[in-house]
């Protein structure tokens, strides 16, 4: 199991530095959350979907929306009856079901959630995890915090294989007795010994990892070497100008509409 969401490709966003890309992501999310004009957030969603089709291929445009379809349906069904201001379109007895305010809010929430989902999907599909962490580091994340995230990502496949191995070993030990009992209680009862074994294995590896960090010189004041570095801010000036222009254009559009 590899904790990676990056999809290899050759679209325009792949060459874009992760730092302005991350700033643009934050800005897009803020705009989706703050802006109430349907044309602005609809337009922004459309731009992101166009970028997904150009960068990742047309087949992937619907993937982010498909994953959130149940919650979009829930939003569409449950939001209008709880927002009954404005002109009434439909009512059952005393209960107002559908009004123009309700419809507007529903559309806004659907566009907002689809937009945020698509923006995150585009970012994590076109940015390698290591580049993302380097970008966070460049934007002010302290070194110990970045190191913690990196080590966690390194240990996820390890923990997954530990869980699989221990789980298989426990299954083999109880192979004769599990056939006729597959209820919820039995599943939980069978799971606990596996979880205890995994946790003891994990906890025991903490002192070894701490010792490894010490041996590698963690905490010393001399400068650290690094396999990969992001280029200086000066080299991505064009990308920064493009990003700033996009932010300025969208803010102006949002203010004018």
Partner 1 sequence: MNENMERKNTSGRIAAIAIMTAVTMVFTYVVRIPIAPTRGYINLGDVAVFFTAFTFGPFTALISGGLGPAIADIVAGYSQWAPITFAAHGLQGLSAALVMIALSRRKFAEPVAGLAGMIVMVGLYLAGGAFMVGFAAAAVEIPMNILQNAVGVFGGFVLSRAVKKAYPPVSRLAW
Q: Which is nearer to partner 1, 40 or 111 (CB)?
A: 111
CA distances, 144 to each of 18, 140, 149, 213 (Å): 20, 12, 9, 11
Q: Is 68 helix (H, G, I), strand (E, B) or coil?
A: coil
CB nearer partner 1, residue 51 or residue 236: 51
Between CA 76 and CA 156 the distance in angstroms is: 37
Distance, CA of 83 to CA of 104 (rounded, Å): 10
Neighbours of 37 (CB within 10 A): 14
Q: Pick the closest to residue 57 from 21, 8, 16 (CA basis).
A: 8
Q: How far is CA 247 from CA 15, 49, 63, 170, 244, in A?
A: 19, 18, 26, 55, 5
**Stretch of 7-15, 91-99, 113-121, 173-181 lying at the interface with partner 1 (CB under 8 A):** 113-121
Interface with partner 1 by CB under 8 A: which range of 46-54, 121-129, 230-238, 244-252?
121-129
Listed in sequence order, the residues at least 6 apart from 230 whose beta carbon sits closer than 8 Å to its beta carbon are 17, 18, 19, 131, 134, 135, 138
* Contact string 210-249 vs partner 1 (x = CB under 8 A): xx-xx---xxx-----------------------------
List 203, 227, 231, 256, residue binding partner 1 (CB under 8 A): 203
Helix (H, G, I), strand (E, B) or coil at 95: strand
Q: Which stretch binds partner 1 (CB under 8 A): 93-101, 111-119, 222-230, 243-251?
A: 111-119
153 binds partner 1 (CB under 8 A): yes
Evaluate whether 95 touches 81 at the Cβ level (below 8 Å).
yes
Q: What mask, x for binding partner 1 by CB under 8 A, covers residues 129 to 148?
A: ---------------x--xx
Q: Is 185 in the site for partner 1 (CB under 8 A)?
A: no
Would you tell me which residues interact with partner 1 (CB under 8 A)?
1, 3-5, 33, 63-64, 67-68, 71-72, 74-75, 78-79, 81-82, 105-106, 109, 112-113, 116-117, 119-121, 123-124, 144, 147-149, 151-153, 155-156, 158-160, 163, 184, 187-188, 191-192, 195-196, 198-200, 202-207, 209-211, 213-214, 218-220
């Amino acid at each position: 199991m590899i904790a990676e969401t990056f999809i290899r490709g050759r679209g325009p966003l792949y060459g874009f530095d992760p730092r302005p890309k991350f700033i643009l992501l934050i800005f897009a999310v803020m705009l989706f959350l703050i802006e109430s004009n349907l044309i602005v957030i609809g337009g922004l969603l459309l731009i992101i979907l166009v970028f997904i089709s150009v960068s990742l291929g047309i087949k992937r445009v619907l993937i982010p929306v498909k994953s959130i379809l149940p919650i979009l349906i829930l939003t569409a069904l449950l939001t209008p009856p709880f927002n009954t201001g404005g002109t009434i379109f439909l009512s059952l007895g005393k209960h107002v079901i559908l009004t123009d305010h309700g419809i507007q809010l529903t559309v806004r929430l659907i566009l907002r959630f689809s937009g945020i989902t698509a923006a995150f999907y585009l970012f994590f599909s076109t940015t390698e995890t290591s580049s993302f962490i380097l970008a966070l580091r460049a934007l002010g994340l302290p070194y110990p915090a970045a190191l913690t995230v990196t080590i966690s990502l390194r240990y996820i496949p390890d923990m997954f294989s530990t869980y699989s191995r221990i789980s298989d070993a426990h299954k083999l030990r109880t192979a004769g007795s599990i056939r006729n009992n597959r209820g919820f209680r039995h599943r939980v009862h069978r799971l606990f010994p596996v979880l205890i074994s995994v946790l003891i294995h994990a906890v025991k590896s903490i002192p070894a990892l701490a010792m490894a960090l010490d041996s590698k010189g963690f905490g010393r004041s001399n400068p650290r070497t690094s396999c990969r570095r992001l280029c200086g801010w000066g080299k991505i000036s064009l990308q920064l100008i493009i990003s700033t222009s996009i932010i300025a254009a969208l803010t102006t559009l949002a203010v004018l509409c």
